[in-house]
Amino acid sequence: MADLQVNIAGVTFGNPLIAASGTFGFGREFAQFYPLSTLGGVACKGLTLRERAGNPPPRIAETPGGMLNSVGLQNPGVEHFIREDLPWLREQGTAVIANIAGNTPEEYCKMAERLSEAEVDMVELNISCPNVKQGGAAFGTSCESAAAVTAAVRRYCKKPLMVKLSPNVTDIGEIAAAVEGAGADALSMINTLTGMRIDLRTRRPILKNNTGGLSGPALLPVALRMVWQASSRVKIPVVGLGGISTWRDVVEMLLAGASAVQIGTVLFSDPYAPVKILEGLEAYLNENEIPAVSELTGKVKPW
């Protein structure tokens, strides 16, 4: 049997499948379908320092091969998470990643400091949310601000620090290198691509926020390309995400340079996707006599 375990910045994941932030809540809804230990890890819904109401609806629009969302980081706040959700999630036998988003570097630092005392395995720095006016992607779209917020949080964060990158940039390799230089232990990429849809009848954007984040299968080739480019520029591990729906997509993402993957939007059409992906991945490894999934990382043979 192939070894599915992966290690990202000192954290052991039982397998390389991690639920992507924003698609999985804090895990309770999906625990009705299968034990969360099925997953290597869970990246929790993006947290802010204080409770956040989110954006007005409509927040969802379907697109060819994907969907837009403009949820806008609706969440109960970091203290509520630590008090009400983390103790339960901690018991589910999966690695716990806290995803944090701030309006200012100070807010990121306060959350990282607070979570450093909590029972989370890793902190994922969300500098790439396209749906909030302040902060979010504003930090993630220039090398200087991405590096500055990473360096600031690094001083307060005692947990392994993963930085989630935005695809809405001109040179993903530059950003990846800048964030690594500022002290990140890992990268996760890509967050959603900013998009838009318009209702022909009303001539209004379907989303009340006008724009939203594109996710789903349409993103996969973009994510593969960016993971490939970024992983060739940095030494720290890259967790790949964006449009993964099948075990084949996972293998591609690992070959492109990812050490683990996150899966998100596919859960909306098939909540059991992680179970099926894992079965397929395991069969692929066994059939091809690949002893460990970690051997696939970066093994693409570019022309």
Partner 1 sequence: MKSYDTAACEILKKAEIAPGFFDLTVSCAEAARKARAGQFAQFLVPGKTLRRPISICGIDRANGTLRFVFQVRGEGTRALSLLNPGEPVNLLAPLGNGFDLGDTSRRALFVGGGIGVPPLLEAAKPFGKNAVLAAGFRSRDAVILKDDFESTGCETRIATDDGSFGRRGLVLDLIGDLAFDVVFACGPKPMLRAIAKLAAERGVPCYVSMEERMACGIGACLGCAVKLRGENGDYFGHVCKDGPVFDAETVVWEE
From the CB of 235, what's the least distance to partner 1, in Å?
Answer: 34
**Beta carbon of residue 272, minimum distance to partner 1 (angstroms, whole number):** 7
> Is the Cβ of residue 71 or residue 96 nearer to partner 1 in the bound state?
71
The reply, when asked if residue 82 is annotated as ligand binding, is: no
Is 72 within any annotated ligand binding site?
yes
**CB of 252: closest distance to partner 1 in angstroms?**
19
Nearer to partner 1, 57 or 181 (CB): 57
Question: Nearest approach, Cβ of 33 to partner 1 (angstroms)?
Answer: 6
Is the separation of the CB atoms in 23 and 267 below 8 Å?
A: yes
Q: Is 25 exposed, middle or buried (0-12, 13-18, 19+ CB in 10 A)?
A: middle
Radius of gyration (C-alpha) of the chain in whole angstroms: 18
Which of 58/173 has CB closer to partner 1? Answer: 58
Q: How far is the CB of 226 from partner 1 (least distance, A)?
A: 21
CA distance 152 to 104: 11
Nearest-5° angle of CA 134, CA 140, CA 142? Answer: 105
Tokens 């450093």 belong to residue: 116
- Helix (H/G/I), strand (E/B), else coil: 37: helix
- Paired with 227 in beta bridges are none
Q: What is the DSSP letter of 218?
A: G
Helical ranges in 157-246 per DSSP H? 172-181, 220-231
145's CB contacts (< 8 A; 6+ apart) are 127, 138, 139
Q: Is 60 annotated as a binding residue?
A: no
Among all residues, which ones are annotated catalytic?
Answer: 129
Query: Which helix or strand (DSSP H or E) is residue 41 part of?
Result: strand 41-43
| Shorter beta-carbon distance to partner 1: residue 160 or 205 | 205
Which of 72, 157, 74, 149 minimizes the C-alpha distance to 104? 149
CB 75 within 8 A of CB 85: no
Binding site residues, partner 1, CB under 8 A: 22-25, 29-30, 32-35, 45, 53-63, 65-67, 69, 71, 74, 206, 216-217, 265, 267-272
Instruction: Check the annotation: does 149 bind a ligand.
Output: no
- If the CB atoms of residues 74 and 294 are measured against partner 1, the closer one turns out to be 74
Consult the annotation and say whether 69 binds a ligand: yes
For residue 248, what are the contacts with CB-CB under 8 A and spacing of at least 6?
A: 280
Is 15 part of any known ligand binding site? no
Distance separating alpha carbons of residues 182 and 191, to the nearest angstrom: 20
Residue 175 in marked binding region: no
Annotated binding residues? 21, 45-46, 69-73, 99, 126, 164, 190-192, 216, 242-243, 264-265
